[in-house]
Amino acid sequence: MTIDRRVSKSKHALKQSLTTLMNQKTFKNITISEIVELADLNRGTFYKHYQDKEDLLNDLIQDVLSDFTESYRAPYQNKSAFYFDQLNASAIKIFDHVAKYSNFYTIVINDDALPGFVNKLGELLKELVITDHMKDFNTPSIDRQLMASYQSYAILGLIIEWVKGGFIYTPSYMATQLLNILSVELPHKMK
């Protein structure tokens, strides 16, 4: 099924408008009139695609989460075997994704404009870790769910730190840092 370019362009403009407005005021105080005015569209176009502003927001969130999943899976997509130690920074696309949606992430992380979204992102990451990387995980002394939480929330922590820091680093730098962190062995004895 192909999507009409005009439909795609209109939906994109509405989502951009919503993101811009959410940067200025709370979602609750945003009106459909403001969204369509900023998008340079009419209300009829809005209602052709969405029932209400919540429907638009849900579509935006779905876009972000779908792109997040694709970005997370990019390094090992279409590969029969995947080894973290053979990964290079340019293959990691998750930070490119966050940069692409930087306005959205700034709003939801710094302003908590969508309560629960960060937890939803953490749960998505945990699900990806379990389904994509832990098929052969067989270490009886380590709980599989806890291991997946540890890995997913460590990545989420890097993303949050990057966003809260105002994106002072490039996506490439963040990908390199992730690889460096993954390669570090913690000392068994701490002083």
User: For residue range 47-85, what is the model confidence (pLDDT) as tens digits?
Assistant: 999 999 999 999 999 999 999 999 999 988 877 665 666
Residue 190 lies in a domain: no
pTM of the full structure: 0.87
| Residues 139, 101 share a domain | yes
Residue 108 in contact with residue 117, Cβ under 8 Å? yes
Of 97, 107, 93, the residue nearest 67 (C-alpha)? 97
Q: Are residues 123 and 170 in the same domain?
A: yes
Which domain CATH number covers 91? 1.10.357.10
Query: Residue 136, Cα to own-chain centre: how many angstroms?
Result: 26
Q: Examine the domain organization and report whether 42 and 108 are in the same domain.
A: no
Quick check: 108 and 163 in contact, CB under 8 A?
A: no
31 backbone φψ class: left, alpha, beta (φ>0; ψ -120 to 50): beta
In this predicted structure, which of 16-25, 70-79, 122-131, 164-173 has the lowest mean pLDDT?
A: 70-79
The whole-number average pLDDT for the span 75-102 is: 82
Range of the domain at 103: 60-183
Q: Is the pLDDT of residue 157 over 90?
A: yes
- pLDDT for 190 equals 46
Q: Which helix (H) or strand (E) holds 4?
A: none
In a domain, 107, yes or no: yes
- The pLDDT tens digits of the residues spanning 138-151 come to 888 988 899 899 99
Q: Which residue has the higher pLDDT, 87 or 93?
A: 93
Shared domain for 74 and 23, answered yes or no, is: no
Number of structural domains in the chain: 2
* Residue 188, domain member (yes or no): no
